[in-house]
Structure 1
């Protein structure tokens, strides 16, 4: 048993890693700033001690796992080095840790978190599986055979890993504060592909993923005929989606998922492809698919007084389109009301037209002030800039959520990666 201290324990990767190490019997504590993050609830549920940053948290005999946001000059890291303790960066620790399992990285511009959650759930029904998901949830199994984790392309962070398998959902231009263009994004995925040890499962409907070169087999899944794993005879209802899976043009099995929208079929196909390769029987795959309850902030529903409220992390035009499509499939008779908070000025500026087009797919659009990053300059850009290109859109403040009440038979989509939840909470208070 090791005694671990996490510097920056509320991070979206750090918190699940702390949960995993706690679950398999290690002593775990950590520190962070004095602000509530949704990633900390699972830590409190496990009675993991979450402290405020302080060099006195560091004691003899500890191993320090440090989040990437904290420089070597951070007081806790300085103290640890003075005491001669081992300080390991999050990515380095995770890269070494996964070597003892069949490791599966789930990566892509969109769909990572949902696919990681779905894969972890389905595989757990077959053999013990530890997992680390970017929504802040992790679980460690003492006798785990598999390790499923979300691997993010931002700042090429995922290049710290050499997993056995990778699922690649798509390549799209995002994080314009770091990547130059889509070719730069593709270059990151191409480099990652060269580090995979056993096999890659990639969405073959994505023109960039079709070009991936790798030293291991690349198997493709998708809607189009040329894929190794293809979804056909798709049936969409208000209960979910059913489809046949053909493996190289031979019928494998018909699956049903309690999920909505084309993107959820693709996520499920990636999971089915990998599970088939790992010899998981079709009936166990189906059981996992139908009992999956979703991940945090991905089409998460609340019903108050007959009104359907959806919380979703969608912060890119591609994701907004997918969320609107899901809402239309599940609630065809309801008005779709989008409440969107853009995340970062750089992303808003870069995709201004695309945001306008994707949001216009909703029946009504309400816009919240841009959630900026401390590292960027807003320039002349304001939320009004986006409102000007969307017909009949409205700007929403926390104290003006009353205007949403006039949509009675509606599904409300609260979307964004910042703190859009505060608008949702204000609206829910009004309803109650």
Structure 2
């Protein structure tokens, strides 16, 4: 069978199974813009599903073999499709089929400046920052991002340039299908241990990703795991970024006053380049923004345009996303699902001047919860109040026997409630004016955030009418 790079060059008609998925839709949008004729199916009638329909794809709600026409030349499917799906089974018997990661890898070789943003934490925020900077600098990038960028109200876009910003996820080694021209390596930490088993295997995968990069590697020079992983890399330009002296690019004179704004000076080889202002909270975003600064600078963006883009960037969806303040209680939502991510998010929240910080956490996967149980318990204690939902198993079966109560019992004063309705009622009844409530997790915990906002909005409206 021909490889996907060859098929993309030769084909005109492509079918997507799971076309409405957040990771699938932007790939479909880029291919539509490149002139391909697309069809696609999905079991969920989502905004992204209808978005791709409006842009010209013929879509089908529900999945069955008849969705695929006989003249289809290539099928792309999401790995979220469950085993036994009749449309996918039919496709694999009759057409060349490739998984989303393989299609994204092929796209990385279409553009001459593919920027692959990888790391255990911060990928979506940093890739969103780079996209916004390049757009506002007039460099018209294409992009595939893991979260919705408010500037475009989408997870990706097609641009008429050779710049392609691509969030590159290490899970299941999906990023190893790519050959970026520029790699941005934010950090390397223990995660997805159900797949990688240990840190050494994670570092080996990142090493391979770095070796597959064709030109430039921008990396976190403060992160020991990253530095160790890149030792001995040859044939690439390596650019170190960090807060410590000795890096090529350094953030100095950092001011994190609280709220949603921070400032710092960006230095290059000891010389001050600019005073940078960012509009997202937390010290971790100092480094994310400097990495984005350097990637944009290396892509040809002018310093003044980089500064404008960073200042205008207010965050990607579900990355400390402020949802509103009702009855004096501020609600926010964050994708953090690893102890290191939760730690920096809650530490940022604690510096923002709220009366109490509430952490409403949905543990994700039984294996991660079990392996990192003590780490989760430690970082969740940063919050003043903690509520734990039941574990979202996602792709796993609970053969371990782990329960959410095992986590909450390790956190003094924590409350464990299974349903979102219970959590909504409890938090709305106990949160006080001046508090911050932040939902944390990569599953569907955002739903309870919106439930709480709705309930408090109704209370606020009722109190005004009394």
Question: Does the TM-score normalized on the shorter chain lie above 0.5?
Answer: yes
Q: What SS class does the counterpart of residue 426 from structure 1 fall into?
A: helix
Partner of 1:122: 133
| 2:346 pairs with one of 324, 338, 355 | 324
Check whether the contact 1:199–1:217 (CA below 8 A) recurs between aligned residues. yes
What's the CA shift for 1:381? 1.6
What's the CA shift for 1:39? 5.4
Q: What SS class does the counterpart of residue 11 from structure 1 fall into?
A: coil
What value does the CA root-mean-square deviation take over the aligned residues?
A: 2.2
Separation in 1, partners of 2:194, 2:251? 36
The 3 A distance-change label for structure 1 pair 341 and 39 is: farther
Check whether the contact 1:9–1:32 (CA below 8 A) recurs between aligned residues. yes
What's the CA shift for 1:20? 2.2
What's the CA shift for 1:428? 2.5
The 3 A distance-change label for structure 1 pair 389 and 56 is: same
The 3 A distance-change label for structure 1 pair 77 and 362 is: closer
Deviations 1:410-430 (A, max 9, x none): 110111112212322332232
What's the CA shift for 1:75? 3.5
Separation in 1, partners of 2:347, 2:51? 31
Partner of 2:201: 184
Q: Which moved more, 1:211-220 or 1:7-16?
A: 7-16
- State yes or no: 1:221 paired with 2:232: no
Q: Which moved more, 1:146-155 or 1:294-303?
A: 294-303
Check whether the contact 2:365–2:396 (CA below 8 A) recurs between aligned residues. no
- State yes or no: 1:403 paired with 2:403: no
| 2:52 pairs with one of 39, 43, 53 | 43
Check whether the contact 1:19–1:42 (CA below 8 A) recurs between aligned residues. no
Question: What are the residue-to-residue correspondences of 1:285-296 with 2, within 5 Å?
Answer: 285-296=306-317
Deviations 1:361-395 (A, max 9, x none): 01111111111134332533211111111001112
| Residues paired across the two proteins, number | 428
Q: What SS class does the counterpart of residue 314 from structure 1 fall into?
A: coil
Partner of 1:156: 173
- State yes or no: 1:312 paired with 2:334: yes
Separation in 2, partners of 1:356, 1:192? 32
Partner of 1:67: 78
Check whether the contact 1:106–1:116 (CA below 8 A) recurs between aligned residues. yes
What's the CA shift for 1:321? 1.0
Partner of 1:205: 222
- State yes or no: 1:99 paired with 2:109: yes
Deviations 1:91-121 (A, max 9, x none): 3322222323211100000101111111111
Q: Which moved more, 1:194-203 or 1:41-50?
A: 41-50
Separation in 2, partners of 1:117, 1:76? 33
Deviations 1:297-336 (A, max 9, x none): 111111142321111111111111111122233x313311
Q: Give the TM-score normalised by structure 1.
A: 0.92
Check whether the contact 1:9–1:50 (CA below 8 A) recurs between aligned residues. no
Partner of 1:139: 157
Separation in 1, partners of 2:82, 2:399? 26
What's the CA shift for 1:70? 4.8
Partner of 1:255: 276
Query: What residue ranges of structure 1 are gaps of 5+ in the alignment?
Result: none
Deviations 1:6-62 (A, max 9, x none): 0122334212211222344443331123x4667546436647524211100111332
- State yes or no: 1:236 paired with 2:256: yes
Check whether the contact 2:324–2:453 (CA below 8 A) recurs between aligned residues. no
Partner of 2:38: 28
